């Protein structure tokens, strides 16, 4: 009855794991993308982390393309020397800065798309606990999220535990201004929210991606109430919540989605089709470090997003409809509304994408 935190990244972003290790005392499963010489940088980074944190509960899984296997050349000699003498020169107070300076191979120059869903599945496959939570490497769990789930949610489960294996427990997602301190609890988060230091995740770039968590209602629930669950949330298109769920009942991520867009929306769609209920946790949350801003939505991301949308609508959705033909629901309309949808997924995609690009002065044909 424990929860494993599942995450993935390239070597360049492994420094984010430091804060996660300070916030999460349960098992962690990390998949690292290490094409080419990145394997050496990964070994150096893991060795540094191991000197400063107990890693008994942490697994690292190294993943690389078959056509771009781990390599060593003379340019990496300095890194190998660093491995040999790491114990002599590392101070734990400098760990964040040290890891931030480690840069793996730029796989984009080789035309290798970042396979986040493959990495998620690798890390997920190694989970040995009853529950898991899949977070991006730059998304931090709130203090005590794991303990709150174990003590306030699992202890209050009903007798029909089989029925409860298909529940997604959602800590609302926020984004925090760079250099602001992570709030230790909900009360401090609400204070930071009032001063605009923190806000709902993707507040500017994709409001619908997390809006179904109903932030205003969540904010109104008193922190004095000893609650694990706040309310049930209605599924909506484009929703991509982070959640805790039963490991053996959580579907894998579709590995055809690479780079940017629909990599988590697609998996959340399958959660709905296979019968999951979505409930929002009352006092727990997750936080992305840094605001997602409109001006940083560049044209390359739009190309990736459009490609993945076409994959989602024209390939993934028909496959899921066939696979779950008896479910009586789909992923193109809201959870409870009956009849014709007021806006199609295509309309939703075009509207949100055009708005993002027009803010940046870009042109795109949809």
Tokens 């990244």 correspond to: 9
pLDDT at 336: 44
Q: How confident is the model at residue 6 (pLDDT cuts 50, 70, 90)?
A: very high
Show which of 137, 171, 192 is a domain's final residue: 137
- Rounded to the nearest 10 degrees, how much is the dihedral formed by the CA atoms of 351, 354, 360, 362? 180
Average pLDDT over residues 142-150: 95
Nearest to 13 by CA among 31, 36, 37, 40: 31
Residue 9 lies in a domain: yes
Tell whether 143 is covered by a domain.
no
Same domain, 236 and 120: no
> Within this chain, do residues 223 and 114 fall inside the same structural domain, yes or no?
no
* pLDDT mean over 147-169: 77
334: in domain: yes
152 assigned to some structural domain = no
* Cα distances (Å, whole numbers) of residue 171 to 129, 145, 283: 19, 8, 8
Residue 12 neighbours by CB distance under 10 Å = 17
Q: Determine the 3-state secondary structure of 229 from DSSP.
A: strand
b/e burial code for range 261-274 (CB count within 10 A of at least 16 → b): bbbbbbbbbbbbbe
pLDDT the model gives residue 92:
81
Same-domain status, 223 and 365: yes
Quickly state the pLDDT bin for 129 (edges 50, 70, 90).
very high
Q: Are residue 331 and residue 246 in the same domain, yes or no? A: yes
Span 30-44, pLDDT tens digits: 999 999 888 888 888
- For residue 345, the model assigns a pLDDT of 46
Report pLDDT for 86.
Answer: 57
278 lies in which domain range?
157-366
Question: What does the DSSP assignment read for 124-148?
Answer: HHT--SSEEEE--TTEEEPTTHHHH
Average pLDDT (315-324) is: 93
The region, left, alpha or beta by phi > 0 then psi within -120 to 50, assigned to residue 179 is: left
Mean pLDDT of 54-64: 95
Of 76, 107, 137, at which residue does a domain stop?
A: 137
Which of 279-283, 334-338, 351-355 comes out lowest in average pLDDT? 334-338
Q: Do 52 and 178 belong to one domain? A: no
pLDDT reading at 364 higher than 50: no
Residues 74 and 207 placed together within one structural domain of the fold: no
pLDDT value for 214: 95
* Position 15 pLDDT exceeds 80: yes
Any idea what DSSP says for residue 262?
S
Residue 72 has pLDDT above 80, yes or no: no
Residues 262 and 305 in one domain: yes
Q: pLDDT-based confidence at 62, cuts 50/70/90?
A: very high
Same domain, 323 and 211: yes
Percent of the chain with pLDDT over 90: 52
Distance CA(121)–CA(24), nearest Å, equals 21
Answer yes or no: do 343 and 306 share one domain. yes
CA dist., res. 108 & res. 82, Å (int): 26
**284 in the same domain as 312:** yes
CA separation (Å) from 36 to 15, 31, 33, 72, 136? 20, 16, 10, 8, 23
Q: Are strands 28-33 and 58-63 parallel, antiparallel or unpaired?
A: parallel
Residue 147 lies in a domain: no
Mean pLDDT of the chain, nearest integer: 84
142 within some domain: no
Q: Does 341 lie in the same domain as 195?
A: yes
What is the rounded distance in angstroms from the CA atom of residue 23 to the CA atom of residue 17?
10
Percent of the chain with pLDDT over 70: 81
pLDDT for 326 beyond 90: no
Higher pLDDT, 87 or 252: 252
- Does residue 243 have a pLDDT over 90? yes
Write down the pLDDT at residue 93.
81
3-class SS of residue 273: helix
Q: What is the dihedral of CA 326, 328, 330, 332, to 10 degrees?
A: 150
In a domain, 319, yes or no: yes
Can you tell me whether residue 70 is helix, strand or coil? coil
- Number of domains the chain is built from: 2
> Are residues 46 and 179 both part of a single domain?
no
Q: How many residues does the chain have?
A: 366
Across 162-166, 204-208, 261-265, 268-272, least confident range: 162-166
């Amino acid at each position: 009855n424990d929860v494993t935190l599942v995450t993935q990244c390239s070597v360049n972003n492994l420094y984010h794991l430091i804060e996660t290790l300070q916030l999460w005392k349960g098992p962690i499963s990390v998949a690292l993308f290490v094409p080419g010489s990145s394997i050496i940088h990964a070994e150096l980074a893991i060795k540094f982390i191991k000197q400063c944190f107990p890693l008994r509960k942490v697994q690292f899984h190294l993943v690389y393309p078959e056509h771009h296997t781990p390599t060593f050349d003379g340019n990496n000699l300095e890194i190998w020397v660093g491995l040999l003498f790491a114990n002599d020169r590392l101070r734990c107070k400098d760990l964040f800065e040290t890891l931030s300076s480690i840069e793996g191979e730029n796989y984009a120059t080789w035309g290798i798309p970042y396979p986040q869903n493959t990495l998620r599945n690798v890390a997920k496959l190694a989970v040995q606990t009853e529950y898991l939570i899949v977070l991006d490497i730059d998304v931090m769990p709130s203090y005590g999220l794991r303990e709150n789930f174990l003590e306030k949610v699992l202890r209050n489960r009903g007798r029909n535990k089989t029925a409860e294996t298909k529940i997604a427990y959602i800590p609302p997602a926020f984004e925090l201004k760079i250099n602001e301190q992570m709030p230790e609890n909900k009360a401090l988060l609400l204070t930071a929210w009032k001063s605009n230091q923190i806000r709902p995740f993707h507040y500017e770039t994709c409001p619908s991606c997390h809006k179904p968590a109903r932030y205003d209602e969540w904010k109104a629930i008193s922190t004095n109430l000893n609650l694990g669950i706040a309310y049930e949330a209605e599924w909506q298109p484009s929703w991509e919540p982070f959640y805790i769920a039963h490991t053996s009942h959580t579907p894998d991520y579709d590995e055809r989605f690479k780079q940017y867009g629909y990599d988590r929306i697609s998996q959340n769609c399958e959660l709905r089709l296979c019968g999951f209920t979505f409930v929002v946790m009352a006092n727990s949350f997750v936080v992305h470090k840094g605001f997602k801003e409109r001006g940083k939505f560049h044209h390359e991301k739009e190309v990736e997003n459009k490609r993945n949308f076409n994959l989602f609508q024209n390939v993934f959705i028909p496959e899921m409809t066939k696979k779950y033909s008896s479910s009586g629901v789909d992923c193109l309309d809201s959870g409870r509304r009956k009849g014709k949808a007021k806006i199609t997924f295509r309309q939703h995609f075009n509207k949100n994408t055009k708005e993002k690009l027009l803010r940046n002065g870009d042109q795109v044909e949809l």
